[in-house]
Amino acid sequence: MKNVLIIHTGGTISMKEDKDTGEVSPATEHPLYEVVPSLAEFAHIKDEVLFHIPSPHMTPKNMLQLGSRIHEQLATEDYDGIVVTHGTDTLEETAYFLDLYLQTRKPVVVTGAMRSINEIGSDGLYNLITSVRVACSEEAKDKGVLVVMNDEIHTAQNVTKTSTSNVATFQSPQYGPIGMVTKRGTFFHHTLTKHESYPIQTISTHVALLKTYAGMDQSILEAIRTTNIDGLVIEALGQGNIPPALVKPLRDIVNSGTPVVLVSRCYQGIVQDIYSYEGGGKQLKDMGVIFSNGLTGPKARIKLMISLELTRNPHDLVAIFA
Ligand SMILES: NC(=O)C[C@H](N)C(=O)O
């Protein structure tokens, strides 16, 4: 049997429902201790609680702490794979952070639950079991960080939470899942073409994320310009266009040396310098805005934060996001 370490960070998978009020909150006695023994038939399991927080409380510093803990454990113990339990609200950000940060070929799987551990139809234990099975699988090696929920295997790069409450919430709108888990085993049907890894020691920059909308005026961007940000991600419209009122303040931000990364608020496709009207992608590219290749806004923000720990050179940043 393989050796798997489970690191708990919190979320609904570590919470319990109050049967009188229906409210869900972190259980004082970590509820996963009750379920971890039933994983013994799948692998030799060790587990530890690193955080016990709802995932809206997660920060990039916590993500770095989690990543260092995984490196530390892989260096000192002979684990075949790692499973991280996490709240689903920011799970995709932590998974993508780990994907960019970790330097390991071993499977690292992030999972969570939409229903707390004592609710009828709870998906917690089931997702944990499938995640352990994926972490034990030979094919899961060298695939970067994976997100396993609801019998599907997704890449950290593409997965996103699509429903507020459905157990099938995690989807990869760009390319679909890369594999599935059934009673007979784990099956991969896609593979990644590229994997990046950035060895950072700290994560300390302030990067803002701004979503655009029809009729948006310059006030929010002007306000952002007066704060001390190290970088900005703009969730643009369509193929990468912004309302005209944003052009001047955005140019001022770029000219002041603050890197600006462009993503689309569409959930499929990539941003490109196609349109040459006021606020069109062509104008933004000429201005020095960095185009990102199909990442969501929150993930581009994580990537920019990591990149800024290593370089502020505009050419390097363009290459990192290409
Ligand atoms: N399903 C969940 O885990 C949601 C919860 N609010 C969290 O992210 O911690």
Q: Which atom of ligand 1 is nearest to the CA of 12?
A: 3
Model ipTM over 0.85: yes
Is residue 51 in some structural domain?
Answer: yes
Residue 134 within any structural domain of the chain: yes
> Which are the contacts of 163, defined by CB distance < 8 A and separation ≥ 6?
169
Domain boundary among 159, 188, 217: 188
Reference 308, options 208, 180, 204; nearest CA is 204
Quote the pLDDT of residue 31: 65
Indicate whether 79 and 170 sit together in one domain.
yes
CATH classification of the domain holding 230: 3.40.50.40
- From 88, 115, 117, the mutation candidate for ligand 1 (largest count of ligand atoms within 8 A of CB) is 88
Indicate whether 197 belongs to any domain. no
The pair phi, psi for residue 185, each rounded to 5°, is 160, -170
Q: In which domain, by residue range, is 88 found?
A: 3-188
Centroid of ligand 1 to alpha carbon of 10 (angstroms): 8
Q: For this structure, is 88 an active site residue?
A: yes
Per-residue burial over 304-320, b if 16 or more Cβ lie within 10 Å, else e, is bbbbbbeeeeeeebbeb
22, 153: one domain: yes
Same domain, 221 and 182: no
| 163 pLDDT more than 90 | yes
pTM value surpassing 0.90: yes
Q: Is the pLDDT of residue 157 over 90?
A: yes
Name the active-site residue from 9, 12, 169, 212. 12
Once rounded to an integer, what is the mean pLDDT over residues 178-185?
A: 96
- Taking only the tens place, the pLDDT of each residue in 5-42 is 999 999 999 998 988 898 998 877 776 777 778 899 99
Q: Is residue 164 part of a domain?
A: yes
Q: In this predicted structure, what is the pLDDT of residue 221?
A: 96
Selecting among 9, 28, 76, 88, the annotated active-site residue is 88
Cα separation, 318 vs 320, whole angstroms: 6
Say yes or no: 9 and 122 in one domain.
yes
Same domain, 167 and 211: no
Two tokens, residue 258: 């603050």
Cα–Cα distance measured from residue 300 to residue 307, given in angstroms and rounded to the nearest whole number: 10
